[in-house]
């Protein structure tokens, strides 16, 4: 490997270059040195770049002389798109499947705009222009609902829904939704129209609107691009990371919109859950509400994680789903801090015990066909669930409850904000939430912490300076 070191002389600067490697046949250590002189007009950054190129060529020549094969030479003609693919390979190797899947989507955007550029030719101007276009990018939203003519066309076609599915590949669920007057996708509308031999406009009301992409989506693309150029810099393919904030403007940081249920809404959801007849869905959502676990953590729970005597629940794994990974799989929790043991309430323990009775009955009914995964929340025959299933259960519970249509992650926010409002120490809140640092909790929930702090101040004032009761 070639190394170099800058050395100052009386009136100039030189770079000492050394190549050191073992000769394969004799195992003898080969050490060769040379000196490179930069041009006087060069900046330090330019000199280091050119010296790196010279050092690489020097190593290549020496290795060729002693071994007959050259050292790996960096490809200085590599494009941004090719570098993005190399970054994806590294992500696939070192990071989660979910992160890799998001990376694939973001790289598609980068390739579309600047993928053809040689990475050494990319300037801050090129990247800034790319980001400005991203910020202006619009996506088309279609609102598609069926006209009465759709039902007539199906009746005239003379096929049942089952026949349309079997013979023409029409999704029955989408067809039912369409006939109910609900919104469907353009792909379905085009498919059924093609089968029936009628133009989509005659069967559907099609409304086309445009809107900007979500700020978080744009932010993810920019972050990925910054990572790609950081990788190129480490490999000395570029002088600097021109995708960093030192060179380009990223705009305002997307505001994290935290949706949660207030205390009255949380109480109402609890009452709804207590009367809900699906014990499996009831238990899963109650776990989410009373513990603040992430959906993957809920999907990954096993019976050995529940200590009924000590009233504790341990988070040791995360259930995941990915097409790339071949379906449902298990991985370690999000961070080291995510591995945790928390105390659970008496009502949750009782519900879990009731659920265990139902669970054992299901296992007995399926007999040898039961897939013994030991997971708490399983499909009807014991196979682990897709984490998205927990979200589906919540949506079903909320449908006729009169409560806001929130996500499962909103229940996590609800759990944490209620703890903060109740005056639970922030270290305890962070530990139960699985945050590695208390600062993570304080940054995300700063507004609620401030509100609780103000309430604490008022409470202290009432203690020391009680207000005179109005007569």
By the 8 A CB rule, do 174 and 189 touch?
no
The predicted pLDDT at position 467 comes to: 57
By the 8 A CB rule, do 179 and 150 touch?
yes
The predicted pLDDT at position 225 comes to: 96
By the 8 A CB rule, do 232 and 238 touch?
yes
Cα–Cα distance, 201 to 142 (Å, whole number): 13
- End-to-end alpha-carbon separation of the chain, Å? 88
Residue 269 has pLDDT above 60, yes or no: yes
Query: How large a percentage of the chain has pLDDT more than 90?
Result: 49
Domain boundaries, the chain: 2-67, 80-137+214-234, 138-212, 263-421
Mean pLDDT of 43-65: 82
Pick the CATH number of 80-137+214-234 from 1.20.1250.20, 1.10.150.130, 2.130.10.10, 1.10.10.60: 1.10.150.130
Mean pLDDT of 158-185: 86
Mean pLDDT of 325-333: 80
pLDDT in tens, 446-460: 777 766 666 666 666
pLDDT in tens, 381-420: 899 999 999 999 999 999 888 899 999 999 999 999 888 8
Residue 108 has pLDDT above 80, yes or no: yes
Query: Which pLDDT band, with edges at 50, 70 and 90, does 300 fall under?
Result: very high
The predicted pLDDT at position 471 comes to: 43
pLDDT in tens, 363-383: 999 999 998 889 999 998 899
Mean pLDDT of 302-326: 89
* Topology agreement, domain 80-137+214-234 and domain 263-421: no
pLDDT in tens, 174-211: 888 899 888 998 889 999 999 999 999 999 999 999 98
Alpha-carbon 454 to chain mean position: 34
The predicted pLDDT at position 251 comes to: 77
Cα–Cα distance, 280 to 392 (Å, whole number): 12
With 0-12 CB in 10 A as exposed, 13-18 as middle and 19+ as buried, what is 65?
Answer: exposed
In CATH terms, the fold of domain 138-212 is: 434 Repressor (Amino-terminal Domain) (1.10.260)
Residue 470 has pLDDT above 50, yes or no: no
By the 8 A CB rule, do 398 and 265 touch?
no
Outline where DSSP puts E strands in 9-62.
13-22, 29-36
pLDDT in tens, 274-293: 999 999 999 999 999 999 99
Taking the model in full, what pTM does it have?
Answer: 0.65
414 Cβ contact list (under 8 Å, min separation 6): 260, 261, 266, 289, 292, 406
Cα–Cα distance, 230 to 462 (Å, whole number): 55
DSSP 154-217: HHHHT--HHHHHHHH---HHHHHHHHTT--B-HHHHHHHHHHHTS-HHHHEEEEEEEEEPPHHH
Residue 423 has pLDDT above 80, yes or no: yes
Of residues 238 and 256, the one with the higher pLDDT is 238
The predicted pLDDT at position 442 comes to: 84
CATH 1.10.1040.10 corresponds to the domain 263-421: no
Residue 319 has pLDDT above 50, yes or no: yes
With 0-12 CB in 10 A as exposed, 13-18 as middle and 19+ as buried, what is 376?
Answer: buried
Residue 469 has pLDDT above 70, yes or no: no
Residue 267 has pLDDT above 80, yes or no: yes
């Amino acid at each position: 490997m070639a190394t170099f070191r800058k050395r100052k002389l009386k009136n100039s600067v030189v770079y000492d270059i050394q190549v050191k490697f073992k000769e394969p046949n004799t195992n003898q250590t080969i050490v060769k040195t040379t000196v490179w002189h930069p041009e006087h007009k060069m900046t330090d950054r330019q000199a280091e770049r050119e010296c790196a190129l010279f050092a690489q060529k020097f190593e290549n020549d020496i290795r060729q002389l002693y071994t007959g094969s050259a050292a790996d030479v960096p490809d200085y003609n590599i494009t941004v798109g090719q570098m993005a693919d190399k970054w994806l390979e590294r992500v696939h190797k070192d990071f989660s499947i979910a992160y890799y899947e998001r990376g694939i989507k973001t790289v598609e955007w980068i390739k579309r705009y600047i993928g053809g550029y040689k990475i050494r030719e990319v300037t801050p101007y090129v990247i800034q222009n790319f980001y400005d276009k991203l910020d202006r990018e619009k996506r088309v939203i279609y609102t598609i609902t069926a006209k009465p003519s759709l039902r007539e066309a199906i009746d005239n076609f003379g096929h049942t829904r089952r026949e349309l599915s079997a013979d023409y590949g029409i999704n029955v669920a989408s067809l039912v939704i369409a006939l109910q007057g609900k919104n469907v996708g353009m792909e379905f509308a085009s498919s059924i129209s093609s089968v029936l031999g009628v133009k989509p406009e005659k069967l559907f009301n099609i409304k086309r609107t445009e809107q900007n992409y979500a700020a978080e989506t744009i932010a993810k693309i920019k972050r990925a691009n910054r990572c790609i150029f950081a990788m190129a810099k480490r490999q000395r393919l570029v002088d600097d990371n021109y995708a960093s904030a030192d060179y380009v403007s990223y705009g305002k940081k997307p505001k994290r919109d935290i949706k949660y249920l207030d205390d009255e809404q949380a109480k109402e959801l609890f009452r709804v859950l207590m009367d809900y007849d699906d014990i499996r869905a009831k238990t899963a959502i109650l776990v989410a509400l009373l513990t603040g676990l992430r959906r993957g953590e809920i999907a990954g729970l096993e019976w050995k994680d529940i200590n009924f005597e000590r009233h504790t629940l341990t988070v040791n794994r995360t259930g995941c789903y990915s097409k790339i990974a071949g379906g449902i799989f298990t991985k370690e929790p999000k961070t080291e801090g995510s591995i945790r043991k928390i105390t659970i309430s008496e009502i949750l323990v009782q519900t879990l015990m009731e659920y265990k009775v139902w669970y054992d009955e299901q296992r007995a009914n399926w007999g040898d066909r039961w897939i013994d995964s030991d997971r708490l929340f399983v499909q009807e025959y014991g196979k682990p669930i897709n984490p998205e299933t927990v979200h589906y259960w919540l949506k079903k519970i909320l449908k006729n409850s009169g409560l806001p249509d929130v996500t499962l992650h909103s229940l996590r926010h609800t759990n944490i904000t209620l703890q903060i409002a109740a005056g639970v120490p922030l270290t305890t809140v962070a530990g139960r939430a699985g945050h590695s640092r208390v600062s993570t909790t304080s940054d995300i929930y700063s507004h609620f912490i401030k509100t609780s702090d103000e309430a604490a101040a008022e409470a202290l004032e009432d203690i020391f300076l009680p207000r005179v009761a109005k007569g």
